[in-house]
């Protein structure tokens, strides 16, 4: 039987100070021209926490609004407000000071230092968080003065941690000669680890699964940790599993740029279907490098910085329970080495070809989840509406194959597509944000089949000119749930058997 999707969680941390001081666009600009107008103006275009929380696409990401509800709001969305809800059914939007506290929580080498006053404030806030235990409070009890932190920054090249544009702590280098362990790399990796950890905690709460039942974790972000001898050796998966208290789990990292999560989900589904593991978590932390990535274009058009959140997610893949949506690993699209780079060939390899092998048409898929990039972010940067462009290509393919008429193309896009709402952090928007909604819609009987399409740009690593793509189908469960037999029922069955045996024995004696 196919493995099933038991739940999905989605997490955002609003990190405006990290936009200014850790996003690659900004750090490069600071090297090129530290006195540029862009760097002078960027702080005036940062959103406050309340504005970030009430931003409609962010509310969709954590599950308080549906894609259909977002579609009804006229674009652009940056000047519109939804409900101001931190907590959603899929996760939460955490303020920056609490997220900085999470960096301290996941640090196991005493590299994160936070000053006393800030630690006390954050400790009081995180003490009320429903997913965290006393371990975080113990770590935040460490006393470090502001002078000590400035000393680490000035003398040991530690990476400053800022909140409200003030230095409240630092991340120390893990090695003074190994540039893969320098402070800025450790900072990036801790951000990824912390955001991955809390996404896993949300997933555990949402699904109600016992932590000890998780046997394997696949982490599929775009970060890499290691040292000078093995720069991408890992292992984020096991590191996050440790922080989340998954004592019975092991794991490993999967990398494939933007398509990494889709690769990881197929691997997880296969591991469970084969019987190797019963419960596998696929998770990914966020990226500071991509904060404010399109900031210059946004400022030039008078917009706020919209890429101001570190995003993460976690997904639970389990044995078939006869109820949850199945991951049909018999329908997998692959952009192979020989596929080529033309848009038609790419889309065909990921959609129509695997569907035709299964005897299905493009119109047999109720919803496609592609690169669900938020058009509020991509359109001002000149990248257009990414999901819409993908849906038009799939629709055009359906026209070419005679499955719909040309006049029906717009209806195809509306019926089988969605608006984008995900942060532009590479691996985050690539199909995965819809998993939670798709599960709900399939369970409600509103959908039968959804196809998840991940694409990646392998050429960014300068090792190949190829890019990447892979897809899978999620479908309504084809079986019936097995009826569990309780302990009381077993006792009753035994008692009835004993009574029958006794009656039979008495009858024999009377004869």
pLDDT at 486 over 90: no
Instruction: Answer whether residue 123 is part of any domain.
Output: yes
Instruction: Answer whether residue 484 is part of any domain.
Output: no
pLDDT at 69 over 80: yes
Instruction: Answer whether residue 26 is part of any domain.
Output: yes
pLDDT number for residue 506: 45
pLDDT at 222 over 70: yes
Could you tell me if 243 and 235 are in contact, meaning their C-beta atoms sit under 8 angstroms apart? no
pLDDT: which is higher, 137 or 110:
110
Instruction: Answer whether residue 511 is part of any domain.
Output: no
- Mean pLDDT (whole number) for 410-415: 98
Cβ-based neighbour number of residue 300 at 10 Å: 11
- Mean pLDDT (whole number) for 212-230: 96
- Mean pLDDT (whole number) for 354-361: 98
pLDDT at 387 over 70: yes
| SS3 at position 192 | helix
Give the pair of three-digit tokens for residue 220.
Answer: 């599929």
The phi and psi torsions of 171 (rounded to 5 degrees) equal: -115, 120
**For position 106, which CATH number holds?**
3.40.47
pLDDT band at 400 (very low <50, low <70, confident <90, very high): very high
Cβ-based neighbour number of residue 323 at 10 Å: 12
pLDDT at 361 over 90: yes
pLDDT number for residue 490: 59
Instruction: Answer whether residue 237 is part of any domain.
Output: yes
Which candidate, 59, 73, 77, 71, places its Cα nearest to that of 419? 71
pLDDT number for residue 501: 55
Angle at 386 between CA 423 and CA 94, to 5 degrees: 10
Give the pair of three-digit tokens for residue 6.
Answer: 């038991």
d(CA 240, CA 492): 45
Which candidate, 64, 91, 441, 427, places its Cα nearest to that of 259? 427
Q: How many domains does the chain have?
A: 1
Cα-Cα-Cα-Cα torsion 402, 407, 412, 418, nearest 10 degrees, comes to 150
pLDDT digits (tens, 9 = 90+) for 256-286: 999 999 999 999 999 999 999 999 999 999 9
pLDDT band at 503 (very low <50, low <70, confident <90, very high): low
pLDDT at 312 over 50: yes
pLDDT number for residue 452: 98
Which candidate, 182, 338, 397, 269, places its Cα nearest to that of 6? 269
pLDDT number for residue 499: 56
How many helices (H) and strands (E) are present in the chain, helices listed first? 21, 13
| Domain that residue 204 falls in | 4-475
Sign of CA dihedral 373, 378, 382, 388: positive
pLDDT at 493 over 80: no
The phi and psi torsions of 85 (rounded to 5 degrees) equal: -115, 120
Instruction: Answer whether residue 508 is part of any domain.
Output: no
With 0-12 / 13-18 / 19 or more C-beta atoms within 10 angstroms meaning exposed / middle / buried, residue 383 is middle
pLDDT band at 40 (very low <50, low <70, confident <90, very high): very high
pLDDT at 482 over 50: no
- HEC states along 414-465? HHHCCCCCECCCCCCCECHHHHHHHHHHHHCCCCCEEEEEEEECHHHHCCCC
Mean pLDDT over the full length of the chain: 94
pLDDT number for residue 509: 44
pTM of the model: 0.92
pLDDT band at 481 (very low <50, low <70, confident <90, very high): very low
- Mean pLDDT (whole number) for 406-430: 95
């Amino acid at each position: 039987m196919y493995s099933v999707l038991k739940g999905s969680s989605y997490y955002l941390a609003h990190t405006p100070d990290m936009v200014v001081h850790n996003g690659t666009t900004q750090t490069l600009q600071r090297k090129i021209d530290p006195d540029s107008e862009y760097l002078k103006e960027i702080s005036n275009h940062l959103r406050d926490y309340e504005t970030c929380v009430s931003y409609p696409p962010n509310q969709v990401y954590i599950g308080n609004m549906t894609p259909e509800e977002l579609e009804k709001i006229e674009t652009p969305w940056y000047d519109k407000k939804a409900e101001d809800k931190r907590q959603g059914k899929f996760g939460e939007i955490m303020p920056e000071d609490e997220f900085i506290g999470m960096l301290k929580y996941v640090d196991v080498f005493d590299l994160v230092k936070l000053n006393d006053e800030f630690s006390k404030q954050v400790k009081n806030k995180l003490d009320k968080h429903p997913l965290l235990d006393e371990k975080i409070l113990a770590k935040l009890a460490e006393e470090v003065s502001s002078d000590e932190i400035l000393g680490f920054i000035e003398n040991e090249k530690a990476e400053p941690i800022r909140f409200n544009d003030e230095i409240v702590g630092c991340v120390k280098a893990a090695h003074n000669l190994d540039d893969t362990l320098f402070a800025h790399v450790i900072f990036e990796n801790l951000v990824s680890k912390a955001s991955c950890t809390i996404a896993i905690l949300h997933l555990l709460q949402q699904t109600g699964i016992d932590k000890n039942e998780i046997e394997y974790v696949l982490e599929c972000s775009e970060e890499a940790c290691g040292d000078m001898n093995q720069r991408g050796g890992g292992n984020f998966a096991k590191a996050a599993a440790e922080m989340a208290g998954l004592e019975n789990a092991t794991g490993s990292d999967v990398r494939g740029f933007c398509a990494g999560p889709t690769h990881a989900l197929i691997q997880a589904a296969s591991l469970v279907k084969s019987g190797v593991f019963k419960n596998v978590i696929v998770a990914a932390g966020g990226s500071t490098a991509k904060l404010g990535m399109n900031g210059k274009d946004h400022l030039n058009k008078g917009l706020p910085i919209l890429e101001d959140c570190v995003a993460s997610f976690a997904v639970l893949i389990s044995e078939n329970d006869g109820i949850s949506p199945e991951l049909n690993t018999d329908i997998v699209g692959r952009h192979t080495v020989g596929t080529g780079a033309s848009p038609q060939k790419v889309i065909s390899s990921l959609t129509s070809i695997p569907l035709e092998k299964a005897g299905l048409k493009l119109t047999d898929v109720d919803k496609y989840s592609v690169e669900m990039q938020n058009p509020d972010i991509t359109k001002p940067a000149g990248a257009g509406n990414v999901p819409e462009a993908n849906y038009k290509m799939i629709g055009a393919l359906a026209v070419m194959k005679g499955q719909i008429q040309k006049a029906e193309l717009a209806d195809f896009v509306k019926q089988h597509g969605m608006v984008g709402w995900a942060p532009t952090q590479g691996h985050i928007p690539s199909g995965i944000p819809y998993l939670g909604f798709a599960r709900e819609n399939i369970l409600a009987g509103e959908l039968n089949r959804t196809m998840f399409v991940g694409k990646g740009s392998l050429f960014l690593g300068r090792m190949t000119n190829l890019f990447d793509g892979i897809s899978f189908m999620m479908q309504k469960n084809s079986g019936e749930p097995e009826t569990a037999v309780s302990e009381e029922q077993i006792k009753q069955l035994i008692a009835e058997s004993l009574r029958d045996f006794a009656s039979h024995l008495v009858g024999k004696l009377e004869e």
